Amino acid sequence: MKDFWKNVLATIVGMMIVSVLFFFILISSLASLSLSNPTAKAEDNSVLTLMLSGQVVECSEENPFTMLTGQISESIGLNDIISAIKKAKADKNIKGIYLEAGLFAADSPASSHAIREALLDFKASGKWIVAYADTYTQNTYYICSVADKVMLNPHGSIDWHGLAAQPYFVKDLLAKFGVKFQLSKVGKYKSAPETMTADKMSDPNREQVSAYINGIWQVMLADVAKSRKISVDSLNSFADHFTAFDEPSALKQKKLVDELMYTNEVKDVIKKLLKTDKPIHQLTVSDMVNMPSADDDGGDKIAVYYAYGDIVDSETGDIMQQTHNIVATTVCKDLEELTNDDDVKAVVLRVNSPGGSAYASEQIWHAVTQLKAKKPVVVSMGGYAASGGYYISCASNYIIAEPTTITGSIGIFGMFPDFSGLLTDKLGVKFDEVKTNRHAAFGTPARPFNAEEMAMIDSYIDRGYKLFRQRVADGRKLPVDKVEEIAQGRVWLGNDALKIKLVDAIGSLDDAVKKAAELAKSKEYHTAAYPEPADWMEQLMNTANRGSYLDEEMHAALGEYYEPLRFVKTISQRSAIQARLPYFVTIK
């Protein structure tokens, strides 16, 4: 028996030693990967190959596990794509870009527009672009239509069908669990709560959604019409007849594509453009990211601070799994450091956010005002800069939006879950009460708010709305009554926001950098991205804490239906007072 326990103990100790050794091997491997930074080089007659597949996010984030295993990340940063195209334009050895369209999902129409504009700028240098796909989705066709030659598999298709918005409504789903929400909001267009409290779109919400999806579609139509030399009327007619079912030869007759060919024939087209018979030297986005830029460190420093995702109060509380967030405590600290950094002459705040916590938005607004007091602040709006996203933007010196940026939504709401139906009716939990003061049990899950309590909440929400409205009036130098006319939670497209002075100009992130340099009176400058990337150990810890394998499997299985179910799962983690867009906006 004594020998038995000795063997058991020896086995346990052995397993512990193996585990420790494995851990150190893992750490060493990750450390060596993080220290290596291979620099690619463009040989003469090189081609940038841009694979339009995976999910585009605002800013790239390295995953240490994919680094270790050699897997290809399913997401790619918009910043990396734009940077790669700019470097390819400047490099005399890179003669053209090859676009290969696959299953590609941008985080917003504005991101697709930004990629397309960068490609147009590349073409302006006199270089060529060739695009190919077995099947073009509407989004990839919109981007690839900029190419000099658009080619398609002889049995391929183009999905060109127009846009549709499909908001989610989960009130009845929550009711099955005995959960309902009590709502207080300001703004007839403030539609975010409808997801939880209604079963269809309100008339004001339908009005604004119709306005912005039609606005986005008009931009897409105009861009494709100009590149492909097809009338807008014809493109609309093609969409009405759903081109995905057209014969490929008909797509060529409609001038949607130039040639029908197989992949090996595409190589011949590119070799002809390169005037060579040698193998094609291809560079990827990753290769281009690792190549130095001509303006990496010359002149004054212009900081580009990326603020994207939901606006949340802190790392704990309403931070969501598997998503990037604008964490108020972190952002305020970062902006304070930029305020005190004398090497930074101006800051571009790149905002891509549907909003979130009203309190967190106010904290970040305050940090922006302090930053602005010492140096110019220019906001570059990405796909979304709405509600809380607009709140943190309005104090800047200058705002530049993409034409299809979704912005505005100046309004606030509070949603408070009532679990009494779940606890009492379904689970049979009974409550009694003893209290010292009139409102001592305020917020109890045992019952919904009474009329007096809701009146107090309404007053609080109204006060928050008036503060938001005043922040906009002060930042945009508009009378409060003028802000009220364009507020009420109304969502505006970038092009329309320009007309009502919510933004100052339509343009790209590069345009925002140029404006920031102009305000800082910097004739020579370079940009530096913030916040700085986390070290490999922090990345490892963040990856480990971002959700379970089960969450990833559910997301893959449920697709777009995962979001409303995830929301139900994380109700208790969200701040009750919100300044944000609808929770689930799907534009198809």
Q: Which residues are catalytic?
A: 190, 387
Asked if residues 185 and 461 have their Cβ atoms less than 8 Å apart, the reply is yes
Q: How many CA atoms lie within 13 A of 356 on its CB side?
A: 28
Do the Cβ atoms of 396 and 373 come closer than 8 Å?
no
Q: What is the gyration radius of the CA atoms in the chain, in angstroms?
A: 27
User: What are the two backbone dihedrals, phi and then psi, of residue 409, each rounded to the nearest 5 degrees?
Assistant: 55, 50
What values do phi and psi take at 325, rounded to 5? -130, 160
Q: What is the DSSP string of 489-544?
A: T-EEEHHHHHHTTSSSEE--HHHHHHHHHHHTT-SSEEEEEESPPPPHHHHHHHHH
Cα(544)–Cα(420) distance, integer angstroms: 35
Residues in contact with 282: Cβ distance below 8 Å, sequence separation at least 6, in sequence order: 46, 47, 48, 49, 98
Per DSSP, the three-state class of 418 is: strand
**CA dihedral of 492, 496, 497, 499, whole degrees rounded to 10:** -150
Q: 301-319 as b/e, with b when 16 or more CB fall inside 10 Å? A: bbbbbbbbbbbbbeeeebb
Tell me the residue type at 361: S
> Which residues are paired to 491 by β-bridges?
408
Report the 10 Å Cβ neighbour count for 435: 10
Half-sphere exposure (Cβ direction) of 153: Cα atoms closer than 13 Å: 12
- Provide the terminal-to-terminal Cα distance of the chain, rounded to the nearest Å: 69
Residue 120: half-sphere exposure toward Cβ, Cα within 13 Å:
16
Instruction: Determine the Cα–Cα distance for residues 497 and 506; give it in Å rounded to an integer.
Output: 9
